[in-house]
Amino acid sequence: MNHAMTTTAFDLPGCRVTRNLGVVRGITVRSRSIFGTIGGALQTLAGGNISLFTELCEKTRAEAFEMMIAHAEQLGANAVVGVRYDATELMQGVTEMVCYGTAVVVQAA
């Protein structure tokens, strides 16, 4: 699926939804390594962007997004609307990242 066919909106401009296939999701659970934790702690001393944690968050979001896309493709969707992210700390240092949306089939309007 082309990533341009995903949106946080509930429609795609220039397209008409012909079928709603339901909710799709991608879920990943990550923990920080001891090295990442120490490195991140050291970066906090200097202030500003903590790049080790930023990189971990970005990789985690991307993985959950790709899993959501794969789920949508399994259902036969060619687009996903209403895309959202949610995160929950399951225990200290362990976070669940969920990316979800509605799988749809669209045609050019």
- Ordered by start, the domain boundaries in the chain are 3-108
Strands 15-31 and 79-91: unpaired
Q: Which CATH architecture has domain 3-108?
A: 2-Layer Sandwich (3.30)
H/E element, 105: strand 94-108
**What's the pLDDT score for residue 53?**
73
Asked whether residue 91 carries a pLDDT value surpassing 60, the answer given is yes
- The SS3 of residue 5 is helix
Distance CA 22, CA 79 (A): 12
Asked whether residue 93 carries a pLDDT value surpassing 60, the answer given is yes
Question: pTM of the entire structure?
Answer: 0.84
pLDDT tens string 34-63: 555 555 565 566 666 667 677 888 999 999
Identify which has the larger pLDDT, 41 or 19: 19
Residue 17 has which token pair? 């939804």
* CB 56, CB 32: distance < 8 Å: yes
Residue with tokens 């120490």: 38
**What's the pLDDT score for residue 92?**
80
